[in-house]
Amino acid sequence: MSGWGSGYVTDVTYMAGYYRPQSPAHIAVACMLNGVVSPLPGPDDPVSFLELGCGQGLGALILAASNPHWTVTAIDFSPAHIAAARDWAAEAGIENVRFLEADLSTLAEAPASASVPEADFVSMHGLWSWVSPAVQAGIVRLLRSKVKPGGAVHLSYNSLPAWGGALGVQRMMRDCGRRLASRSDRQAEEGLKLIQSLREAKALQIVRLPWVNALVERMATMPVPYLAHEYMNDAWAPCFHADVAAALADAKLEWVGSGNLIENFPELTLTDEQRELWQRFEEPLLRELVKDMCLDRSLRHDVFVRGARRVGPAERNAALMDVRLALNITPSEMPFEADMPAGRAALNRSFYGPITEGMANGPRRVGDLLALPNLEGKRNNPAELIGMLIGLEMAEPAARPGAEPAPQALRFNRVASARLSRTENLGRPIAAASYALGTGAPCTLFDLYVAERAMAGQGETNIGEWVDDLGATLDEQGRGNLREVFVRALNVRLPILRAQGVF
Ligand SMILES: C[S@@+](CC[C@H](N)C(=O)[O-])C[C@H]1O[C@@H](n2cnc3c(N)ncnc32)[C@H](O)[C@@H]1O
């Protein structure tokens, strides 16, 4: 760690990642579901998007590559992150993204802030609860001057009370890890070994809460740079929702709903008994406190608006009917049951079956889907359809349905595939740039690898070469598994990505 980081990990870079709730399309849908005006960016809107704490910039790059006429500005204080992000942008020829190296604790007052454009949408993922109150205050000052009236902000953070049960895990990882090694990633590894030994020794503060116990078990599978940035910072502190809302109110930002779309539906989030208690309060922040007491969820995704304009149900539904959705799965993969925070929920087969079939050949307007003749179910509830399909990651909003792949999105995907396949687990979920969607198309690096080869005219007969290329060190069984992954990518995943305009 170094002096300029003010206690934030700076000696190890963070992994590149893409997170759906950061996308303006998702932020706008969260607003619309809650009856707040925030139109989905239209196909030619010159949206200004600002990302704070952008890491290596993958999210900003995907959004810029998918929307050539947006202005994307992404800020991080790590020169290694900014250098990597600029390098990606240059290699892929993405000209509508700018990466700025700046410390958010002082940027609002620094001359460099003049070069940061006012934003329609802002996103911060994995930043707020990991930095000190001084940085948080700097972020609020920047938001005060940079969020346009009517603009929306997405903010994720570790939340209380859920995180309360694992405070000891973080403290041990950090304090003991630091005693046992010098570089942050080594510290995280040493801290993790200790925590896992404590779990095996049945330490009460780990084993008594199932989610803490499961967290420690899962930590063994997490990339070490993630563990370092998650657990080794001086100022990390989970927050109560109301405290975050109070801090953002200083930038005239009002909490309007959850970026985790399912959480905007109390009937899916809370049991009947819990909902009765939740309903006793009119005040949204108290309702959220009741919700946070009921849920086993330690990361919140919140959406705030500067000057929220509310509309009635009729206007809201009309706007939602106009949303276009693109499937992330094949219709046969549609699960007709799903785990919700309030328990397992059934998804009506005679409703969701025809809906997903209706989307099989490409994106469709929600109003048209709800007008399908063979549908049995609520035709007047676009919110539920959108909340379920996007919230369960079955679909993405589509800004320009049917548009041909744009050159800069194609270039970006080629560079992403070549770069990330060298360093990352190929099964890791990321996203591809898509001009037709205007947001990331969820996929794995395997999918991108195969898509690149399919575009070069290769196919089923080349799978052996692909296995040789990526599976050189695997045994026979490993090669067999890899072959199956390629067959599925080619026959199942690629048609979906094609329908989403990725290639
Ligand atoms: C946990 S990482 C999340 C990165 C990225 N948003 C993501 O989700 O992949 C937090 C990021 O915030 C940056 N950061 C921390 N303190 C900062 C500060 N004071 N000013 C600017 N960036 C900061 C770090 O360099 C790091 O890239």
- With helix as H, strand as E and coil as C, how does 340-384 read? ECCEEEECCHHHHHHHHHHCCCCCEEHHHHHCCCCCCCCCCCHHH
| Least-confidence region, from 164-173, 196-205, 337-346 | 337-346
The pLDDT, as a whole number, for residue 1 is 53
Among the listed residues 230, 155, 165, the one whose alpha carbon sits nearest the alpha carbon of residue 192: 230
Q: How far is the CA of 55 from the centre of ligand 1 (A)?
A: 5
Among the listed residues 464, 459, 458, 497, the one whose alpha carbon sits nearest the alpha carbon of residue 482: 464
**Which of 11, 52, 77, 157 to mutate to test ligand 1, by most ligand atoms within 8 A of the CB atom?**
77
Q: In angstroms, how far is the first alpha carbon of the chain from the final one? A: 42
Mean pLDDT of 329-341: 91
pLDDT tens string 35-91: 999 878 999 999 999 999 999 999 999 999 999 999 999 999 999 999 999 999 999
Among the listed residues 175, 238, 234, 299, the one whose alpha carbon sits nearest the alpha carbon of residue 9: 234
The answer, yes or no, to whether any atom of ligand 1 lies below 6 A from the CB of 131, is yes
Mean pLDDT of 164-189: 95
Q: How far is the CA of 155 from the centre of ligand 1 (A)?
A: 13
DSSP, collapsed to helix, strand or coil, labels residue 456 as coil
* Mean pLDDT of all residues belonging to the chain: 95
**How far from 62 is each of 20, 146, 187, CA to CA, in Å?**
11, 22, 32
Residue 262 reports pLDDT greater than 90: yes
Q: How far is the CA of 97 from the centre of ligand 1 (A)?
A: 18
**Which of 9, 14, 82, 428 to mutate to test ligand 1, by most ligand atoms within 8 A of the CB atom?**
14
pLDDT tens string 83-118: 999 999 999 999 999 999 999 999 999 999 999 999
Q: Which atom of ligand 1 is nearest to the CA of 107?
A: 20
- d(CA 91, CA 61) in angstroms, rounded, equals 12
**How far from 268 is each of 159, 204, 216, 264, 275, CA to CA, in Å?**
20, 32, 28, 9, 10
Q: How far is the CA of 81 from the centre of ligand 1 (A)?
A: 9
pLDDT tens string 139-173: 999 999 999 999 999 999 999 999 999 999 999 99
**How far from 56 is each of 83, 101, 225, 476, CA to CA, in Å?**
8, 11, 12, 36
Q: How far is the CA of 293 from the centre of ligand 1 (A)?
A: 28
Burial class (CB in 10 A: 0-12, 13-18, 19+), 465: exposed
Given a contact cutoff of 8 angstroms between Cβ atoms, the answer to whether 101 and 77 are in contact is yes
Identity at 53, one-letter amino acid code: G
The pLDDT, as a whole number, for residue 345 is 87
- Facing residues of 429 across strands? 444
The pLDDT, as a whole number, for residue 498 is 95
> Going by C-beta distance under 8 Å and a sequence separation of 6 or more, which residues neighbour residue 10?
1, 2, 4, 78
- Facing residues of 36 across strands? 310
Q: Which atom of ligand 1 is nearest to the CA of 53?
A: 12
Given a contact cutoff of 8 angstroms between Cβ atoms, the answer to whether 342 and 270 are in contact is yes
The pLDDT, as a whole number, for residue 2 is 60
Structure tokens at 361: 């050949």
The answer, yes or no, to whether any atom of ligand 1 lies below 6 A from the CB of 229, is yes
The pLDDT, as a whole number, for residue 122 is 98
Q: How far is the CA of 440 from the centre of ligand 1 (A)?
A: 21
Residue 302 reports pLDDT greater than 60: yes
Question: What pTM was estimated for this model as a whole?
Answer: 0.96
Q: How far is the CA of 52 from the centre of ligand 1 (A)?
A: 7
